Structure 1
């Protein structure tokens, strides 16, 4: 793949090919491809003038913005490795990632400078002059726009190979301390091209980015459109108001959005007035990063008439592994689809490493051109994640007689009660189908008799009268007795711990509720819809 240009190199070509096309825009700014390319070149020169060279790490602690995309593009042009940091993390978590990554510079939005100021003494590898602030000036930081004003806009003189590392991105930590995932330029190029073919994207598309740009989902899907010369509209990840999203779709003629089930749940409960928006520009939707209930898929397709709905399964390490295409949505409800273009046939293996028969549950292993290179400074964990070159993210799955795959659950989330294996996704599917349930997570809690018991953490619809007895009664004739929850815990939407992309952190729930009164990390506050 050595002949394919990386994203930074392709940006230069797009500036020549599409001089009038808006490359990046938000609520107040619009930049064409030539304008973005000039800004990125200036940033690239300034980063190199700060002493950063090929292979050095640049940490970015930023909300979704044009500027964070420019940092991604500038590192692609220079061979510098970008380290996106989740802006929802607290100081000690940020310090761990930045220090573990060996970052030599850091860029932050102004609102996150108090966090960074508090941990600067721990970041001994970053010189005092190598902190950059975006949005407004602050002492102790170089101001972003001033940096650009002082730099040339010529193409930087840097030799970047496809096999070089572009992104060091840390896992969301659903099963423990985050691990740094090294991803090359060529693994992303493969995704951009495969994605464009698999989903049928072209230069006329307008992508709306809502997912946080510190996560692999956004870097994959957002930059696919930059690579092919289309338009990207950038929306803050922490400001998901469904009525506003629909207004932007209408105004900007958005053609594609990647969202998670939580987002769709909020959209499906908007007011009648908001439903009158003209959203017919939407051609394709993706639902990913968390399981999608069957009833929700049907509701999405009813809300967006004529839309092509896709579901993708993948991971930070493997990229996108399977795609459930629009024509299969109704006949294969609950499935994650078939292998994405370029992915070898998936293997479902038992504990002994042998392939299981169709419809039997095993651990999912995949291999393809989007695979990561290694976990940073963790050779043992890298080796443990592979089996003869096949990678597993720890998900339990099964394949049906037609070759379609279904995720049963994460191996680490499996509940073993009285010797019986219970997959939380099945319990969540059952409880989540109750009309008064907004969200639910099934977890294991210690039990003197059975070792573990099934517990349900439920977010009720606003104004509902849900009780534990109602949940028990709902489950009675729908799932086997050993799968039914023995305890129901009711919480508010902002108390459900999630990763940056909406995956529920079952581990946090297990730890907190096993020990007593829960103390949750910072999460998005998503109000439950009216009943």
Structure 2
């Protein structure tokens, strides 16, 4: 296989973006220390009225780091963070890194089986979780290597009197009252932090070798794998992002943190970018369209990284004209394809720029993006970032495709992962020489702009979440009344795609949609639960009995197209 590529895209870089960058050989947490030294009184976080300066954030992170050491966390140990977007999630992230730990970001929506797998696979010794999810963690902790569970709540960083009122609002909204018995192994976050020392820990870090993060991702097999990202991977991708957003002045940005930090995209383009560039993070625990509109208006947000569903929700909000969104300068959309009409509508509303980025957990995550203030092409995901190479690999020849030819998109660059945690075979299978195989099919045009024509074979992207059908199918197959099941993504005007399950019941049994939905909700995170079910007598199969998933996908696409045509006829 040829190893050199013609970097056609470089001639389309705006002159402000360098084609190559000198990356700092530093740990990720060193940037928080630098911010505390350079702008100690500048506000780092705004959270529902509560604000923390860079000095306060650094001090709290040091306290957390020292307390982790006090309970036995050593360099290389894994610390899981299972939090919504809150000040605690930033404190714990940087504090764990200061202690020399490897962060394991854990989705708060995970159910017991998912938590158990991730804790066992990573070998995490400590988990920090919200009080609302503690019951799920408590049910599986004895089946894992967890030695300590640290529990916090949204109210812990709310200003007075919101901190007093919030528990009542939480109970009203969720119907959940959590009673926690604290002891030597189950710790109250606020008390844990209060007792911490402010001394600086001297943990030596080798940026290119030492892991900062285990970020779990599925695969075409549906098996969740820990992506090993080093300090250097994350520092380089954050640095690349800052150069891409070259009009953003250091210390001046106000970044809306609506994307979850537990997702690698939100973690890099919001949290790490903000800390490195000493910006103010406007943190919201949950994306609620009206609250976000109010926040943009009041806080004069300048940078709004998001997912297409977020922009769709805002554009279509009935009260959008009541809010001033003109402070927005740049938005980098990721996690799912960005429809052109959404891009155009949002730019018209705000006057800012909205462009699409492409990447994977394995690339920290961004590898390719449309220039924010440069040449765009309709339907294109853009061009590779500085020091990043991309090419299209032919499945037939194993060589690079010519412009316009479809093949598998492959990537190499300093942001590409070290490998999969404890999975050398999976690591070897996803690399060809030093190229990372994305599994996404696409092509490059004559100018070096890239286009996606199909995603990983079976993966569903719904509302920005990667959903792997096999995982859902395994849950369905565990039901004692189900004989066969297959899960696909079907078109959805809001989420991009939504999950549909086709089910064949065992002879002589009966099962309602409501019963099946209840079962799925008990065994899957909410975003993985099918939104549509169809019971069939049989599923299409090959001669050897393999279910023909693609036939079902094509049927659903045809139905969607027919409905769209009918709707157009009625409105014309």
Return the TM-score normalized by structure 1. Answer: 0.78
8 Å CA contact retained: 1:442, 1:456:
no
Worse-matched range after superposition: 441-450 or 97-106: 441-450
Alpha-carbon offset, residue 175 of structure 1: 4.7
Change (3 A) 1:168 1:411: closer
Change (3 A) 1:34 1:405: same
* Partner Cα distance (1:384, 1:471) in 2: 37
* Partner Cα distance (2:218, 2:378) in 1: 27
Superposed counterparts of 1:183-194, under 5 Å: 183-194=229-240
Aligned to 2:370: 324
8 Å CA contact retained: 1:442, 1:454:
no
Alpha-carbon offset, residue 300 of structure 1: 1.8
8 Å CA contact retained: 1:78, 1:160:
no
Whether 1:397 aligns to 2:442 is yes
* Partner Cα distance (2:555, 2:38) in 1: 52
* Partner Cα distance (1:474, 1:96) in 2: 41
4+ aligned runs moved over 6 Å, structure 1: 442-445, 456-459
Worse-matched range after superposition: 343-352 or 196-205: 343-352
Aligned to 1:131: 149
Worse-matched range after superposition: 4-13 or 309-318: 4-13
Consecutive unaligned residues of structure 2, counting only runs of 5 or more, are 1-21, 157-179, 461-487, 503-538
> SS at 1:346's partner residue?
strand
Superposed counterparts of 1:272-287, under 5 Å: 273-287=319-333
Whether 1:340 aligns to 2:389 is no
Alpha-carbon offset, residue 174 of structure 1: 6.4
Aligned to 2:116: 95
Alpha-carbon offset, residue 254 of structure 1: 0.8
Aligned to 1:292: 338
Per-residue deviation, residues 282-304 of structure 1 (Å, max 9, x unmatched) = 11011111011222222222222
8 Å CA contact retained: 2:309, 2:495:
no
Aligned to 1:447: 540
Q: 2:273 aligns with which of 224, 227, 235?
A: 224
Aligned to 2:56: 35
Whether 1:248 aligns to 2:295 is yes
* Partner Cα distance (1:298, 1:64) in 2: 28
Aligned to 2:350: 304
8 Å CA contact retained: 2:325, 2:349:
no
Aligned to 2:308: 261
Alpha-carbon offset, residue 172 of structure 1: 4.5
* Partner Cα distance (2:555, 2:259) in 1: 25
Alpha-carbon offset, residue 411 of structure 1: 3.5
* Partner Cα distance (2:29, 2:293) in 1: 32
* Partner Cα distance (1:470, 1:391) in 2: 34
* Partner Cα distance (2:182, 2:130) in 1: 14
8 Å CA contact retained: 1:323, 1:340:
yes
Aligned residues: 447
Q: 1:64 aligns with which of 85, 103, 128?
A: 85
Per-residue deviation, residues 311-367 of structure 1 (Å, max 9, x unmatched) = 1000000131111123567x5111000111120243433244111121111001000
8 Å CA contact retained: 1:165, 1:185:
yes
Change (3 A) 1:314 1:470: closer
* Partner Cα distance (1:166, 1:247) in 2: 35
8 Å CA contact retained: 1:322, 1:339:
yes
8 Å CA contact retained: 1:397, 1:407:
yes
Whether 1:371 aligns to 2:416 is yes
8 Å CA contact retained: 1:310, 1:324:
yes
Change (3 A) 1:229 1:344: same
8 Å CA contact retained: 1:22, 1:31:
yes
* Partner Cα distance (2:306, 2:23) in 1: 33
Q: 1:207 aligns with which of 218, 240, 255?
A: 255
What is the aligned-residue RMSD (CA, Å)? 2.9
